[in-house]
Amino acid sequence: MLRLLASRCARGSRAGVGARPAAGLCEPRRGRASDAPRNQPPSSEFVARPVGVCSMMRLPVQASPEGLDAAFVGVPLDIGTSNRPGARFGPRRIREESVMLRTVNPSTGALPFQSLMVADLGDVNVNLYNLQDSCRLIREAYQKIVAAGCVPLALGGDHTITYPILQAIAKKYGPVGLLHVDAHTDTADKALGEKLYHGTPFRRCVDEGLLDCRRVVQIGIRGPSMTLDPYRYNRSQGFRVVLAEDCWMKSLVPLMGEVRQQMGDKPIYISFDIDALDPAYAPGTGTPEIAGLTPSQALEIIRGCQGLNVVGCDLVEVSPLYDLSGNTALLAANLLFEMLCALPKVTTV
């Protein structure tokens, strides 16, 4: 029976939002009793890791967010990139590498799959020939997800995707706090005459009042600049900018204690660009910068969000073409699992 259940849990289709849901014993039920079974990634004790349809953590794929507490969502867009393309393939490779993930986080005591109904919602359809239209499609898809009470965890995609996501998030929650982990501030005003690309999402969010700027923290920022004070705009808006060199050779647990105090109990969104990490660990990205964060520091940051009112997350800028080993996508998959474990309703022991 366990073998049958695990096998059915692994089934599904890679169809995007709006497609027919996957069937099986793990299909969510409306009006689910608290003791009813929830979706679980299948154990490799019963199902070989290469077996099954490629979904995040081999969870069921379903079309609708109804009945879900949280969901992984692919957003395969990279036409907002300014350097090396390829992040459109990020969601697929992250899913492939996620087969190594399991159900429990022994380090934090988090039991996400005993606490939440979770599934993979497939990919948002995007228009690879029109960035503005892609943003519309992402925003509309996310409005449906958020309206259903489902917390979305995005597999990017370049960082442009966070702008329409935050449009949908703010429509429900109002201006939100932001924990932004990145090598770059992404608050440029425009490039080549365009005001929308992966270097501008948070400038556009400020313009539209989507952020509670007193609760915006940016961590891991570094790299050469065209001016001696490249962070003036951010600090003038009230952002806290934590440079990468201020994180070198130290634990970030104390920093996250300060971040938790700053964020309080109001809604917060987590946006994690994989290039926040040093390219020695995460070479598969479009705009790498040397001397970045370590994977252990990334874990400290995300685990430090436990207890916060997290209403959405994304992991962006994974470009598999520049890391044939898959290590960057493996790291991304693990960080998304850590984000899931940090969601408010997750039980810890």
Residues annotated within a binding site for Mn(2+): 159, 182, 184, 186, 273, 275
Contact 30, 36 (CB under 8 A): no
Residue type, 291: A
Q: Which helix (H) or strand (E) holds 221?
A: strand 211-221
Residue type, 157: G
Region of residue 348 (phi > 0: left; psi between -120 and 50: alpha; otherwise: beta):
beta
Contact 9, 39 (CB under 8 A): yes
In 3-state terms, the chain is what percent helix, strand and coil (to 5)? 35, 20, 50
Residue 77 tokens read as 């867009």
Q: Say if residue 235 is exposed, middle or buried (CB neighbours under 10 Å; 0-12, 13-18, 19+).
A: exposed
206 closest CA partner among 243, 180, 183, 244: 180
> First CA to last CA across the chain, in angstroms?
28
Residue type, 169: I
Residue type, 285: T
Q: Among all chains, which residue has been given the structure tokens 């090598």?
A: 183
Q: Which helix (H) or strand (E) holds 235?
A: helix 232-236
Residue 265 tokens read as 């109990």
Residue type, 113: F
178 closest CA partner among 314, 343, 336: 314
Contact 316, 165 (CB under 8 A): no
Virtual CA dihedral for 158, 164, 167, 170, nearest 10 degrees? Answer: -40
- Distance in angstroms (rounded) separating the CA atoms of residues 125 and 76: 8
Binding site: which residues? 159, 182, 184, 186, 273, 275
Q: Please state, as a whole number, how many other Cβ atoms lie within 10 Å of the Cβ of residue 331.
A: 22
